[in-house]
Amino acid sequence: MRDWQVERRKRTRHLIQLGGLVVKSGIVELTGDDRAMIYGALLWMADKLQSEQGEQARSLWMAKAKQAFEEDRQE
Rama region for 32: left / alpha / beta (φ>0; ψ in -120 to 50; rest):
left
pLDDT tens track for 5-24 = 999 999 999 999 999 999 99
Q: Are 58 and 66 in contact (CB under 8 A)?
A: no
> pTM value?
0.81
pLDDT tens track for 24-60 = 999 999 999 999 999 999 999 999 999 999 999 999 9
